[in-house]
Structure 1
């Protein structure tokens, strides 16, 4: 498992279904078609999918082809796709809001079992996929890694503006009864390319990848360990999980560091939980929380890093974190 990968945590459901990694290369689709979409290039790859640039009737689309494999610790890949299929219409409706990357279609029906039985030709011709709005500006991570932007004296203000827009989007997601569960720089998209710090200050962003979104109180399907809160491994979905992940996104945006002190305990907790060893997993989660409680987030920092609200967002205890409404008001008033 690579740093930043999305991992599946459907450990509550046991299955005897045979599992195998799917090894298709994303370049396999380039130059061909998926449904009516001509595939022009590979935009990126994450822990749970490949993102391709598709065109249809002269318009560009981002096509996320979902990986069909049992990732490290995954117990049931079919349960994830089944849930995604059932929630498809709701997620499409959710993405209509102005601060969300629009989902045009979700196609995951009736192919997963066949693909898991080594039907590679079906995976290549009709892969499970999300058809999404194409964002010309790329992802927030690209801006973070741009030295011109990152070392500008306007970067703190730019991050504040971006975080404020993401918080607004998350507040809407929560108001509709869902938790995003995978907030991170790779899932924050810029509407247009940014070349200067001045442009970054004015940039419009959208929150994308609702593929991990889950109804409040339901089991967590997927997470990214570097941005997830410890309880996300052993508890059901709560809006306070998104608060923590947005806090981590702000921290990483300002520092370029993914150096949270609980990383090893998080990995152990996930591994144990995915094997059904919940008592042992909870012990590791408690250790992760202990490490986080002594984390001096703002040491040596300025601006948002030294704001007590960021420390609250990254609290190991969900009841100590602010609501997303509080976060939205805080950011809009800075």
Structure 2
């Protein structure tokens, strides 16, 4: 059962207060050997570093003080730390400090980077790997819901990989996470993954967030893993692909989908209809995917004589999906 929102907020507030007292300024290079930059986001960077005292390799999440507040930093760290006991959520080391310009906390290192790096444009990733990823991401989302929280930025970029076959993957980046029931008054997350209700936010009411927002993004993420494409660019009425999906959902026939949904097998189209229900009150839980493990998720790809990299349509799709992900990153808050 999900935690009471008031109780969750109270726990987070106590944890933020506790960690605030431990936040001291240090010289980062006295304690860590910076090896290389791993990534960059709207408020800072992530570095691979070796802890000088223990020799342990860690990921340092470094947030620029000019672009994030002390409160926001402590809130993200606290949520990350609270959730890090789950095997499919990134481990959060209990090391936080400030430098002259930055706030810093440490996380376990994911040796293979994020899941997006595994996706082959127009192809996706192998079916057995997609299924493993879907189960693990679903488990993480269920845990987040049970803790009374919403991630609000679910996508392959925010899932870290620990082995090539994805037997171990972990959700990361809780910079946008909110307590369930928190009212937001502006859109957040990356465009292709935003649930349609995000665009219905109107002042002064706003939108009370809940786990259905993460389930929608999860559904889109699975589509991307299966196909190597986005089903749409945005969930707006003027997006033709999204409009076709809405019409199909209202008049659902498993064997007569719009073009984008011919890319997934007949056996799992109903799964997507449930995960991506336009009416958020009818949207399934993320565990819906478990009902479809016996189905075929990817059609066999016929062999081609030509090199797919040299195929012009393949190259077009490659640059299109890269452009979409870059555009999404520009709308992303945090690292």
- TM-score of the two chains, using structure 2 as the length reference: 0.64
| Pair 1:250 & 2:204 matched | no
- Give the distance between the partners of 1:304 and 1:34, measured in 2 at CA: 55
Residue 59 of structure 1 and its aligned partner are, at CA, apart by: 1.3
Match of 2:116 in 1: 141
- Do the aligned partners of 2:196 and 2:235 also contact (CA within 8 Å) in 1? no
The separation in 2 between residues aligned to 1:240 and 1:212, in whole angstroms, is: 15
Count of residues in correspondence between the two structures? 250
How far has the Cα of 1:105 moved from its partner?
A: 4.1
Residue 47 of structure 2 corresponds to residue 52 of structure 1: yes
The aligned runs of 1:318-329 (5 Å cut-off) are: 318-327=280-289, 329=290
Residue correspondence of structure 1 range 190-209 to structure 2 within 5 A: 190-192=161-163, 194=164, 200=165, 203-209=167-173
Distance 1:265 1:293 in 2: 9
Q: Which residue of 2 aligns with 1:228?
A: 194
Question: CA separation in 1, counterparts of 2:35 and 2:266?
Answer: 40
Deviation (angstroms), 1:294? 3.2
Q: Map residues 256-275 of structure 1 onto 2, 5 A cutoff.
A: 256-260=228-232, 262=234
Residue 90 (structure 2) aligned to one of 92, 98, 101: 101
- 1:94 is displaced (CA, Å) by 1.2
2:33 counterpart of 1:43: no
* Contact 2:215–2:275 (CA under 8 A) maintained in structure 1: yes
Cα distance in 2 for partners of 1:260, 1:248 equals 9
Deviations 1:57-81 (A, max 9, x none): 22111112235566xxxxxx54xx5
Shift of 1:331: 5.1
Considering only aligned residues, what root-mean-square deviation do their CA atoms show, in Å?
Answer: 3.4
5+ residue gaps, structure 1: 1-31, 71-76, 112-121, 195-199, 268-286
Q: Which residue of 1 is the match for residue 141 of structure 2?
A: 170
Q: Which aligned pairs between 1:271-286 and structure 2 lie closer than 5 A?
A: none
Q: Secondary structure at the match of 1:294?
A: helix
Distance (whole Å) between structure 1 residues aligned to residue 190 and residue 95 of structure 2: 22
In structure 2, how many angstroms separate the alpha carbons of the residues matched to 1:297 and 1:67?
A: 44
Greater Rg, structure 1 or structure 2?
Answer: 2
Tell me by how many angstroms 1:107 deviates: 4.3
CA shift, 1:182, in A, is: 0.9
Question: What is residue 85 of structure 1 aligned with on the other side?
Answer: 74
Correspondence for 1:64: 61
Which of 149, 152, 158 lines up with 1:187 in the alignment? 158
Q: Which residue matches 2:316?
A: none
Give the whole-Å Cα distance in 2 for the aligned partners of 1:308 and 1:134: 37
Give 2:129's aligned residue: 158
Contact kept, 8 Å, 1:61 with 1:134, in 2: the verdict is yes
Partner SS for 1:172: helix
SS of match in other structure, 2:34 = strand
Unaligned runs of 5+ in 2: 1-26, 202-206, 249-257, 296-335
**Cα offsets for 1:121-147 (capped at 9, x unmatched):** x32xxx123311101122111111389
Which is further off, 242-251 or 216-225? 216-225
Residues 232 and 242 in structure 2, CA contact (< 8 A), matched pair in contact too: no
Q: Given the superposition, is the C-alpha separation of residues 176 and 288 from structure 1 closer, same or farther in structure 2, using an over 3 Å criterion?
A: farther
Contact 1:60 1:134 in 2 (8 A): yes
Distance 2:64 2:244 in 1: 33
TM-score under structure 1 normalisation?
A: 0.64
**Structure 1 residues 331 and 40, CA gap change in structure 2 (3 angstroms):** farther
